[in-house]
Structure 1
Amino acid sequence: MTGSAASPSFRLAYVPGVTPAKWVRIWNERLPHVPLTLLQVPVAEASGALRDGAADAGLVRLPVDRTVFSAIPLYTETTVVVVPKDHVVTAADEVSLGDLADDVVFHPLDDVLGWEQPPGRPAVERPVTTADAVELVAAGVGLLVVPQSLARLHHRRDLTYRPVVDAPQSSVALSWPEEATTDLVEDFIGIVRGRTVNSTRGRAPAGTAPAQSQRGRPDATETGRKPAAGKTTGKKTTTGKTTAGRSTAGGSTRSGSGAAKGGRRGRPRRRS
């Protein structure tokens, strides 16, 4: 790490379609004294916001420049095709890219799927944004293939969507400038990775001692725990001494026939 948590707040950028609410709630529970500020940015501006210091970390879409940024992949989205509700595609539960070959499929300038070759027939002009492309789909001009979260973000009552089984997918990651890995960034990393507040890999709040693992150590009541009834302890204890004076069933031990089975046998009695 290159610094301590001197900033009075934590600034988190996120791109359209990403929902940071769960992680923000956990942050507010664990660090109520450090306000978290959300900054929504277009996909194309996310790297600039992190590089320029407008945000401390960001929930972005991969890929990112790994020579500048660290990134922790979080999840990969299902890709869907957005269509009018009366489109023939709605008759199926899922489709393939080949099923879209005869349709105009929009490829907006802010596309996040990184197509080598977009499916379907190209539109005369590329829409500037995904929101513009959704409006064109609603007008019955063509279709749009996007991550499912963007289909939900731009939901319209006259449109629906279906999964596309062989389309590229978009992955979301937590990213931040590698040279600006602060304590607050480490705190947020712990949250998105599901670490507990006392995790030894995370940074516990000030004044909170991390919980110690009890594995390999006797419980506080271990030495007072009684063995199961009827069993005897003929084995040596950890000090090297044999247990004596009492059996574990509660009775006294005797020499001779009442001795432990592991002792030396006496001279056999001669038969008459």
Structure 2
Amino acid sequence: MTGPEESPSFRLAYVPGVTPAKWVRIWNERLPDIPLTLVQVPAAEAPEALRAGEADAAFVRLPVDRTYLSAIPLYTETTVVVVPKDHLITAADEVTLADLADEVLFHPLDDVFDWAGPPGEPAFERPATTSDAIELVAANVGLLVVPQSLARLHHRKDLTYRPVTDAPQSSIALSWPEEATTDLVEDFIGIVRGRTVNSTRGRAKPPAEQKQQRSEPKRSEPKGTRQKSAAAKSTGRTPRARTAGAKQQPKRGRPRRGS
């Protein structure tokens, strides 16, 4: 639970390729008094940033250490190969790893794929970053296999990409330290999962305010009143009008004496 000693702010880390804008917008609408700070971190450093307390939660690339971190998988990306626009591969709508066997493929040090054996012909050396590898692809030195979001992040007019149908895929998840599941973390989980403000696990509004918005229970009418109303609707007459035409019983009085 959030303690009074904690700063009323939320730090959200995210790895390259993730666009957290829509979730940040909802946070600002629901919790305008609690600032959300974005921190971009390399994919390999995101779990350590959570361990070190540098962020309250993070969008990470799976897998993560589940003995320490909780994670909610969100989506799996399409894997693509980045090529120059005039490359022969652009003639196909999609390719396989076998189609890349004779190509020089870069394997940067920050590669997000855990290759058992990188496909294609190995490059002379491994680029330090994906961004460096993109520059080499633009220089017509080789090709690069990455998640689609990274191909879009490093978009260049002279490059394009095609899906690789049988390549490994990268999945994005929301993660946080299991032992630090604060109320603000729960709030952000609710936003990412699409919960409404008034959902049972939402915390965007104080409990007192939520109670005020609840509608009051309807007051029940006495049983006899409901029965009379139903009878009136079925006959079109009020109970008094219905009994007015009934045969009147003669009044009983004392017998008159004979003259």
Q: Same fold (TM over 0.5)?
A: yes
- Asked whether 1:188 is paired with 2:188, we answer yes
Q: Distance in 2 between matches of 1:40 and 1:16?
A: 7
**Any gaps of 5 or more consecutive residues in structure 1?**
224-236, 255-272
Partner residue in 1 for 2:254: none
- SS in structure 2 opposite 1:60? strand
Q: Distance in 2 between matches of 1:87 and 1:245?
A: 84
**Any gaps of 5 or more consecutive residues in structure 2?**
243-259
CA apart distance, 1:246: 3.9
- Asked whether 1:209 is paired with 2:195, we answer no
Partner residue in 2 for 1:263: none
CA RMSD of aligned residues (A): 2.8
Give the 3 Å change call, closer, same or farther, for CA 222–84 of structure 1 in structure 2: farther
Q: Distance in 2 between matches of 1:114 and 1:244?
A: 73
Q: Distance in 2 between matches of 1:13 and 1:246?
A: 67
Aligned ranges 1:1-272 → 2 under 5 Å: 2-4=1-3, 6-206=6-206, 207-209=208-210, 245-246=231-232, 248=234, 250=236
Letter in 1 for 2:77: E
Q: Distance in 1 between matches of 2:23 and 2:117?
A: 36
Matched-pair contact (CA < 8 Å) for 2:105–2:142: yes
Q: Distance in 1 between matches of 2:3 and 2:236?
A: 60
- SS in structure 1 opposite 2:136? helix
Letter in 2 for 1:23: W
CA apart distance, 1:250: 2.5
Give the 3 Å change call, closer, same or farther, for CA 130–4 of structure 1 in structure 2: same
Percent sequence identity is 74
CA apart distance, 1:7: 2.1
Kindly indicate which of the two structures has a greater share of residues assigned to helix: 2
Structure (1 or 2) with the larger CA radius of gyration: 2
Partner residue in 2 for 1:233: none
| Count of matched residue pairs | 237
- SS in structure 2 opposite 1:37? strand
Matched-pair contact (CA < 8 Å) for 2:30–2:204: no
Q: Distance in 2 between matches of 1:249 and 1:74?
A: 61
CA apart distance, 1:222: 11
CA apart distance, 1:80: 0.5
Give the 3 Å change call, closer, same or farther, for CA 245–74 of structure 1 in structure 2: closer
Q: Distance in 1 between matches of 2:182 and 2:2?
A: 5
Matched-pair contact (CA < 8 Å) for 1:74–1:171: yes
Give the 3 Å change call, closer, same or farther, for CA 118–244 of structure 1 in structure 2: closer
Partner residue in 2 for 1:231: none
CA apart distance, 1:120: 1.1
Q: Distance in 2 between matches of 1:16 and 1:179?
A: 26
CA apart distance, 1:161: 0.4
Q: Distance in 2 between matches of 1:42 and 1:28?
A: 25
Matched-pair contact (CA < 8 Å) for 1:4–1:183: no
Partner residue in 1 for 2:245: none
CA apart distance, 1:51: 0.5
Q: Distance in 1 between matches of 2:170 and 2:237?
A: 72
